[in-house]
Amino acid sequence: MNKKLILFFALAMSVRIASFSQTADFYGVVSLGGNVAVGNFGKATVDGLQIKEWGVYFPEADKDSPLGGAGIGANASLFGAKRVRGIEELSIFVSADFFFSALNKTLRDYKEQYEVENLNSHDKYEHTFPVFLDIPLLAGCRYDFFTNKRDLSFFGQAGIGADLHIITDYTQYWNMYKHSSEAYSYREEYRKKISFAATAGAGVVLFDHIQIGIHYHYLGSYRVISTSEEKTDAPSGMSVTDNSAHRRGLLSPHILSLRVGYVF
């Protein structure tokens, strides 16, 4: 699926969601919240692997090794739904979400320690670990449970669709020795992937407009593929560059989110 098709799909869903609020049968929800990685996606070490080197954090030795490293993050959601005629409680929805998952605490602490150790032997040291971005586009059903109290109702929903996975670049840069002009840099870029996605959630609606919900998101499973550039700049001006391709292990983003939204 190319970028133009993804953009068209996203725009089409946005227009459809915007149109949902134009009549009484249509409604929308804009939500913000926090999220945490669960399962292997949230582990810093998997199958006893250590994290002393980046090549082990995203292992290349075992192509079927599950990858992890994500921690807490933030998310936003745009949700639009149409009530089914004759069944007021049942709705058909489409949604567009955005998830940001930072490194978990184990890897953040290691990153800080690693930087301190390297600054002792280098005048300049820069180290950027990747973060995980997910953009699922979903469609599904929602059921509202209305109570005798006008200002209180409950809901449950589930949907399926596609998710765009993005891992930001991993980079390193330092001078080889203190007071030396010789420098080393490394950059690894990860290929974007699209995979099947599914979600389920439940929550409460207060005063007709305030929605609070907890949701579980399965965002597919895919092999991490990347390309890297390793470059050494010598004091003489000579530069040596080495480019490589990598097939890493399997990444399966599973995310639990808590959201607060406005129903319109």
What pLDDT shows up at residue 51?
Answer: 44
Q: What is the mean pLDDT of residues 227-254?
A: 85
State yes or no: pLDDT of 54 exceeds 70: no
The residue among 106 and 2 whose pLDDT is bigger is: 106
User: How sure is the predictor about 15, in pLDDT bands with cuts at 50, 70 and 90?
Assistant: low
User: How sure is the predictor about 4, in pLDDT bands with cuts at 50, 70 and 90?
Assistant: low
* Cβ-contact 225, 247 below 8 angstroms: yes
Minimum mean pLDDT among 64-68, 185-189, 243-247: which range? Answer: 64-68
What pLDDT shows up at residue 92?
Answer: 97
Summarize pLDDT for 135-183 with one digit per residue, the tens: 999 999 999 999 988 799 999 999 999 999 999 998 888 776 666 677 8
What pLDDT shows up at residue 111?
Answer: 72
Q: Give the range of the structural domain holding residue 226, as residue numbers without chain letter.
A: 3-263
Provide the percentage of residues in the chain whose pLDDT is more than 70. 77
Q: What is the tally of structural domains in the chain?
A: 1
Segment of 37-46, 47-56, 60-69, 160-169 carrying the highest mean pLDDT: 160-169
State yes or no: pLDDT of 74 exceeds 90: yes
Assigned token pair, 213 = 């919900």
Provide the percentage of residues in the chain whose pLDDT is more than 90. 48
User: How sure is the predictor about 207, in pLDDT bands with cuts at 50, 70 and 90?
Assistant: very high
Summarize pLDDT for 29-39 with one digit per residue, the tens: 999 999 999 99
pTM: 0.82
CA distance 216 to 221: 15
User: How sure is the predictor about 76, in pLDDT bands with cuts at 50, 70 and 90?
Assistant: very high
Per the rule left: phi > 0, alpha: psi between -120 and 50, beta: everything else, 260 is beta
Write down the mean pLDDT value for the chain. 83
Residue type, position 83, single letter: R
Long-range contacts of 115-119 (CB under 8 A, 24+ apart): 118/174
State yes or no: pLDDT of 55 exceeds 50: no
The residue among 52 and 164 whose pLDDT is bigger is: 164
User: How sure is the predictor about 22, in pLDDT bands with cuts at 50, 70 and 90?
Assistant: very low
CATH for 88: 2.40.160.20
Residues 6 or more apart whose CB falls under 8 angstroms from that of 99 comprise 35, 73, 74, 75, 132, 133, 134, 135, 136, 217, 219, 253, 255, 257
